């Protein structure tokens, strides 16, 4: 079982490394989208500090959802996804490996880019640290849910927009606790409650989402 996970995971990473610019697009989108907010809202540092966490989280959500369609689309188009599902290995492990690879390619760079945003939005050091921790816990949830959406919309005409409509409502709890952690720290409270709930969400999603994804893949490939 670990060997299947490793095989799928390292294959996806290798494919991403061969198309570096494409792999970096989500994080570029993330930075561009976040930079639009000061232009729209106005450059007052007080306002920016207040909206920073929410803006970063919503943009991370959108960047994840925009990039997640490609997790299965390429493999579906060239038939390798069908071979994977027919190989007799557990669909759960394949879906989990795919989500892990997506997180490594897009989720982790989003976390790494967040300090830059923190500087742009004049965030305090403790708030920025909390934001990084919440993104670290929360972005894997987005990759797992996004994988489910990608599997459900596999091969459909308007897969991209449809996926966003399907998955965004499900990602709302992660958004609430992720951005809420930063607001709590800003208000002088402890963010440990938020982190506990985000961690619980991550565990539940990691247990259930790959399972649902593997069902959705079987349905899509029937």
Say whether residue 222 binds another protein (CB under 8 A).
yes
Query: What's the chain's Rg over C-alpha atoms?
Result: 18
Q: How far apart are CA 91 and CA 218, in angstroms?
A: 8
Say whether residue 219 binds another protein (CB under 8 A).
yes
Q: How far apart are CA 102 and CA 142, in angstroms?
A: 10
Q: How far is CA 169 from the centre of its chain?
A: 14
Structure tokens at 13: 């990473």
In the window 168-187, what residues touch another protein (CB under 8 A)? Answer: 168-170, 172-173, 176-177, 180, 183-184
Binding residue for another protein, selected from 137, 201, 202, 210, defined by CB under 8 A:
201
In this chain, which stretch among 6-14, 70-78, 110-118, 147-155 interacts with another protein, using CB under 8 A?
147-155
Q: How far apart are CA 188 and CA 220, in angstroms?
A: 48
Shortest spacing between CB 26 and another protein, in angstroms = 22
Structure tokens at 203: 């565990």
Q: How far apart are CA 100 and CA 213, in angstroms?
A: 13
Closer of 78 and 222 to another protein (Cβ): 222
Task: Summarize as ranges the residues that interact with another protein (CB under 8 A).
Answer: 148, 152-153, 156-158, 162, 165-166, 168-170, 172-173, 176-177, 180, 183-184, 197, 201, 204, 208, 212, 215-216, 219-220, 222
């Amino acid at each position: 079982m670990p060997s299947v996970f490793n095989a799928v995971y390292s294959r996806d990473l290798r494919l991403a490394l061969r198309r570096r610019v494409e792999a970096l697009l989500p994080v570029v989108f993330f930075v561009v989208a976040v930079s639009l907010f000061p232009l729209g809202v106005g450059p007052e540092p007080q306002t920016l500090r207040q909206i920073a966490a929410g803006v970063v989280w919503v943009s991370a959500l959108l960047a994840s959802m925009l990039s997640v369609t490609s997790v299965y689309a390429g493999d579906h188009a060239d038939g390798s996804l069908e071979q994977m599902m027919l190989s007799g290995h557990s669909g759960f492990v394949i879906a989990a490996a795919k989500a892990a690879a997506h997180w490594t390619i897009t989720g982790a760079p989003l976390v790494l880019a967040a300090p830059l945003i923190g500087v742009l939005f004049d965030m305090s050091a403790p708030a920025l640290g909390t934001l990084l921790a919440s993104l670290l816990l929360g972005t894997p949830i987005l990759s797992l849910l996004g994988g489910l959406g990608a599997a459900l919309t596999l091969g459909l005409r308007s897969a991209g927009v449809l996926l966003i409509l399907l998955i965004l409502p499900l990602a709302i709890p992660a958004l609430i606790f992720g951005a809420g952690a930063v607001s709590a720290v800003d208000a002088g409270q402890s963010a440990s409650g938020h982190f506990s709930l985000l961690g619980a969400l991550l565990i539940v999603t990691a247990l259930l989402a790959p399972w649902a994804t593997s069902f959705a893949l079987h349905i899509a490939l029937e």
